[in-house]
Amino acid sequence: MLEDVKIDFMGVRRLAGMISAALVVVSIISLATLSLDFGLDFTSGTSVRLNYSETVVISEVNQTLEAGGYGDAVVVQFGTDRDIRVLLPVDESVEVGDQAAQAVAVGEIIAELLRSNTGSEVTLMGSDYVSAKVGEELAEQGGLGMLVALGFIMVYISVRFQFKFAMGAVVALAHDVLITLGIFSVFSIEFNLNTLAALLAIIGYSLNDTIVVSDRIRENFRRMRKGTPVEMVNVSLNQTLSRTVITSLTTLLVLVSILAVGGEATQGFAIALIIGVVIGTYSSIYVASNVILYMKVTREDLMIAIKETGELDDTP
């Protein structure tokens, strides 16, 4: 049983800290030099919306488009199982002023190509040109949203626990996001709006895990009469190990299923969350707890303040 396991997590905290630091540095270097492989949600391109009279088989649509010379097109499902959106990169040979007209023409070509290769009735719902400026605004708003979330998290944990715990949680969350982005950059995995949504979900998942561990650390600091801070953190991590393992494994099972059967539309989302769950579980143990110990948390930091009643003792 996991309840009986006694693992010396903090015995390798310095090694874990060096590994985390190395991964963060590699991620930052990769993001600075290689950047991210932004999808059409963040770059210029044409978005074609189509409706089928029957359920769409995405793999067949991809094969048709590839055979028709649109191998770089991305097909995603939205709304119902009969609606798809085809995303194509912008044609650099077309002047900027003609992009809107090009989008309409491309939409009609795509619709006709798909009609000729399926027995289903295909209706062109719309075809739009998506400018790079829209993508830049989305990226800026997403980054700002994450910074605001980290700020609120620091305030919340400072109030609920203590400032040293807040620093540990924020460092762990920044660690998780940077390494996830770094993996996407190093392996050139497409970064789109689904991936951005996954990053925000990673913050929530990692924070939940960190708060559970922090709550147990606080309880043990108040309850245990003997032991060093390192020993009390180790006891806390072992006590929450069962919950951490069960939560992580069940979440990973769902995400692997989404990755296997969800298709290309949910691929980036599933990959980002799988990375985030693994890194988030690791950071709640070795990053957040490491920061708390580095900042020298003590029992006095977590003691409940006793309010003065103002009543005088009867003893003269």
Per-residue pLDDT of the chain (316 residues; tens, 9 = 90+): 455 567 888 888 899 999 999 999 999 999 999 888 887 767 777 888 898 988 888 888 888 888 888 877 878 777 778 888 888 876 655 555 566 777 788 888 888 888 888 878 888 888 887 766 666 676 677 778 777 877 787 787 777 777 888 888 889 988 999 999 999 999 988 888 788 888 888 888 888 888 888 888 888 887 877 778 888 888 888 888 888 888 889 999 999 998 888 766 678 889 999 999 999 999 988 998 888 888 887 666 565 554 545 444 444 4
pLDDT at 303: 59
Residue-number span of the structural domain to which 104 is assigned: 45-130
- Which CATH number goes with the domain that contains 73? 3.30.70.3400
- The reply to whether 139 and 175 lie within a common domain is yes
pLDDT at 179: 95
Nearest to 251 by CA among 243, 261, 240: 243
pLDDT at 312: 43
Final residue before a domain boundary, out of 130, 158, 178 = 130
pLDDT at 4: 59
- Which CATH number goes with the domain that contains 218? 1.20.1640.10
- For 239, the token pair is 């006590």
- The reply to whether 274 and 171 lie within a common domain is yes
pLDDT at 153: 77
pLDDT at 315: 46
Residue pair 21/179 in contact (Cβ under 8 Å)? The answer is no
What is the count of structural domains for the chain?
A: 2
Residue 271 covered by a domain: yes
pLDDT at 134: 60
Final residue before a domain boundary, out of 130, 158, 186 = 130
- For 189, the token pair is 């995995």
Pairing of strands 37-38, 190-191: parallel
Q: Is 291 exposed, middle or buried (0-12, 13-18, 19+ CB in 10 A)?
A: buried
Residue pair 118/99 in contact (Cβ under 8 Å)? The answer is no
- Residue 132 CB partners (closer than 8 Å, separation 6+): 42, 43, 44
pLDDT at 316: 46
